[in-house]
Amino acid sequence: MKIIRCDNSYSGQILAIFNEAILNSTAVYDYKARTAEMMAAWFAAKEKGNYPVIGVVSPEGNLMGFGSYGTFRAWPGYKYTVEHSIYVATHCRGRGLGKLLLQEIIASARAQNYHALIGGIDSQNVASIQLHKGFGFRHAGTLQQVGFKFGRWLDLDFYQLILETPAQPADG
């Protein structure tokens, strides 16, 4: 396995992993699969914001999982806070890839001088909650019944990790 920075050439493999999560889980509170055009816009937004797309590839070069982060809220006062996501291909789960990806996300956020990482996690996603707790994320709150998917209401937990960066934050 190898950690990489994904570019648009991985968009098809990312799309497959992402769409599986949309269609079969509550990892994403969305109903319809994304299109290639949507992925192109997603990659453009990541590039414009200087947000990394981190992947784990097999020795054969197949993408096994990916993670990224982006804007938490659009107002300037949140400039030191990002919200991240991690997705692992179904057949690759349980191999520690989530740990590798989260470790790289934290390192990248630190290197880019972010101060807070936020993870919005479905309250029933025990594996993701345990993963985040293992890296020191703390439960910051639960928004009850904010999502509806698969015929039921979903609660969204927020987990937060405070980083020691930046050394000298500034307004504006």
pLDDT at residue 172 tops 90: no
Residue 160 binned pLDDT confidence (cut-offs 50, 70, 90)? very high
**Structure tokens belonging to residue 77:** 């006062």
**Structure tokens belonging to residue 62:** 């197949």
pLDDT for 103-119, tens place per residue? 999 999 999 999 999 99
pLDDT at residue 8 tops 90: no
Find where tokens 């479905």 sit.
122
User: Percent of the chain scored above 70 by pLDDT?
Assistant: 100
pLDDT for 69-102, tens place per residue? 999 999 999 999 999 999 999 999 999 999 999 9
Cα separation, 77 vs 4, in Å, equals 31
Residue 162 binned pLDDT confidence (cut-offs 50, 70, 90)? very high
